[in-house]
Amino acid sequence: MLPHPTPPLGRAGRRTRAARRTALGALSLAAACSLLATPATAAPVGPGPADAHCAAQARLHVPGAAHQQADCLDELTTAGTVATGHTDPADYAGLTPRDLPTPSGVPGIQIDGYFPDTSTTNTNHGWQHDSQFVIRLPDHWNGGLVVAGTPGNREQYANDRAIADWVLARGYAYAATDKGNTGTAFYRDGRRPGDAIAEWNTRLTQLTRAARAVVTQRYHRPPARTLATGMSNGGYLVRWQLENHPELYDGGVDWEGTLWRTDGPNLLTFLPAALRHYPAYAAGGPGAAEAEAALHRAGFPAGSEFLWPYHHQVYWDLTQRIYREELDPGYDGDTEAGTPYCASGTPACDADYAYPDRPADVHRAVDRIALTGRIGKPLITLQGTLDVLLPISQDSDVYARMVHQAGRGSLLRYYRIEDGTHTDSLADAFPDRLRPMVPCHRSAFTALERWLAGAGRPPADRTVARPADADPATLLTSCPLR
């Protein structure tokens, strides 16, 4: 989910709920290592007379874009784009380990732009316009395209260090979208509950189609492979795309995707328990043991207690309130996104929110964005066992069962990453307790490449153990799935 850890936006005055919904607005991951040296699935295309550095730049057109700007860059990774202003480090802050190396040596074309939209929360480039995208076209192309939606409520550059740098260095073209709305007040976008999240799915479909066309323009042939990947909300988008538009993709890697399920579990079923019981746990005293047990029953795993203070301070309260506001705005009446850190028993407090008891229209709003498990292309899912924003027992464990129950189990591989958590930067704070997820994502990605190339099926579903004697440097570059 990963909303930016900033205070929720306030509002000066409130018109009717419909008027507020019409005022459109915006949830809350790179060095190649020897283990992951499997080549990409298509032969690299070297620069010839028609494929020289930044060839065809002036002729590239993003179908459906309201605005685009193409630039010829000597470096498409963050080794160069930070200095040239072609990324925004604030977008990916906190998503990767501090010492994650940055690859370099990837010249090519970057196209920034936006599709028509009425919301204006994304301020990148001074455009004040949502549905912004970035498309990167390396000179030395391997024939593939990777598309991604962003985690949390972040903007289009959020995956640049975790995903884009690495796939660009492998020769892929890359495209990402801000999902159509950004920021912790994303719920202001749309006319009815669920509209803002539903737009995320539409925007990734739109970008995938457009990026495939641009790749064809640039390299004179369509991509041989189109792969979807993403983290958190970006992982949710991978699941949804492979369920609803499998014709656009060859496969995907879902990194701890958010589970939306009409009858639960979903984040509105387990986050209220965290808000309700954590204060008693943190206070100690006679009620602490029962509060801890209640948090475990809600899905927060035993052994993750050291992560609870941070998540209570940064994520649990904010995430519950803004996503509840998106899907159930009537719960708190005219108050927008509830009352931060309200005590249980306070009227309309999110700590007391009971999703099963909410009206049918709330469940219908969730149903509009819900997942089914009916994937149509190969998918690899991975999630950390110490994820305490989206607890694994309430998320990927459930989604894996859904895929099997839908009769699509042959298309899924699911890896539970021991001691992984939702936010990779926390591995820096707790190096003896956590492992970063980014190398496991890369192992999963290369396993998908081999799977699609017919070079071997990935290992069976399993929990990937954390090596007992591994030092932090090794864990940063190694995550064998076998």
Banded pLDDT at 472 (limits 50, 70, 90) = confident
> Chain centroid to CA 433: how far?
23
Banded pLDDT at 473 (limits 50, 70, 90) = confident
Banded pLDDT at 470 (limits 50, 70, 90) = confident
Q: What is the pLDDT of residue 482?
A: 84
pLDDT in tens, 236-276: 999 999 999 999 999 999 999 999 999 999 999 999 999 99
Show the tokens assigned to 471. 């030092």
Show the tokens assigned to 229. 């990947």
Tell me the mean pLDDT in the region 383-397: 98
pLDDT in tens, 87-136: 999 999 999 999 999 999 999 999 999 999 999 999 999 999 999 999 99
Residue 18 has pLDDT above 70, yes or no: no
Q: What is the distance between the alpha carbons of residues 138 and 61, in angstroms, rounded to a whole number?
A: 16
Tell me the mean pLDDT in the region 436-460: 97
pLDDT in tens, 137-169: 999 999 999 999 999 999 999 999 999 999 999
Cβ-based burial of 175 (10 A; exposed 0-12, middle 13-18, buried ≥19): buried
Considering only CA atoms, which of 399, 410, 285, 395 is closest in space to residue 1? 395
Q: What is the distance between the alpha carbons of residues 189 and 192, in angstroms, rounded to a whole number?
A: 9
Banded pLDDT at 51 (limits 50, 70, 90) = low
pLDDT in tens, 411-421: 999 999 999 99
pLDDT in tens, 400-412: 999 999 999 999 9
Between the alpha carbon of residue 422 and those of residues 59, 219, 383, 409, the distances in Å are 41, 37, 8, 25
Q: Are 208 and 246 in contact (CB under 8 A)?
A: no
Instruction: State the DSSP code for 459.
Output: P
Tell me the mean pLDDT in the region 335-354: 98
- Percent of the chain past pLDDT 90, that is, above it, reads 87
Q: What is the pLDDT of residue 1?
A: 61
* Count of beta carbons in the 10 Å neighbourhood of residue 156: 29
Banded pLDDT at 52 (limits 50, 70, 90) = confident
Tell me the residue type at 67: H
Peptide bond connecting 7 to the previous residue in cis, omega within 30 degrees of 0 = no
Residue 35 has pLDDT above 90, yes or no: no
Tell me the mean pLDDT in the region 6-31: 30
Q: What is the distance between the alpha carbons of residues 441 and 146, in angstroms, rounded to a whole number?
A: 14
> Where, residue-wise, is CATH 3.40.50.1820 in the chain?
64-262+373-476
Residue 357 has pLDDT above 80, yes or no: yes
What architecture (CATH level 2) is domain 64-262+373-476? Answer: 3-Layer(aba) Sandwich (3.40)
State the chain's mean pLDDT as an integer. Answer: 91
Q: What is the pLDDT of residue 38?
A: 34
